[in-house]
Amino acid sequence: MNWTLAKAKDQLSRVIRQAVDEGPQTISVRGRQTAVVIGKEEYDRLRPAKAPRDFKAFLLAIPSKGSISSATGHRRATSSFEVSARYQRRQRTAPAPA
């Protein structure tokens, strides 16, 4: 459902209840859809399960171009070998420092 900001403020408990029961509730400000209220279960479902612990894990979790599985449509994580190979190719083609 779409709510104006004024109505959402006045009926916040109803907005939250509907977000939990019926799904996302959109809030408009001056005619523009500005925010969405979602239930906690939906938030948990959309949120990544676990954040990477270190920078290397963060980099390895980034999907690479062309790594979409045609069967599932999901991206796979880039392996450290692929990251290393790309880095080495860039180093070979990088211009020498002046």
Measured distance CA(3)–CA(13) in Å, rounded: 13
List the CATH code of the domain at 2-46.
3.40.1620.10
pLDDT of residue 71: 47
The domain segmentation of the chain, as residue ranges, is: 2-46, 55-93
pTM reported for the whole predicted model: 0.50
Determine the average pLDDT of the residues in 26-39.
96
In sequence order, the 6+-apart residues with CB closer than 8 A to the CB of 47 are: none
Consecutive H or E run containing 34: strand 32-37
pLDDT of residue 84: 67
pLDDT of residue 54: 83
Give 5-22 pLDDT, tens digit per residue.
999 999 999 999 999 999
Residue with the larger pLDDT of the pair 95 and 52: 95
- Tokens 């963060």 label which residue? 58
Provide the mean pLDDT of the chain: 80
Give 36-84 pLDDT, tens digit per residue.
999 999 998 888 777 657 888 778 878 877 655 544 555 555 556 666 6
Report residue 43 as tokens.
């938030």
Determine the average pLDDT of the residues in 79-93.
65
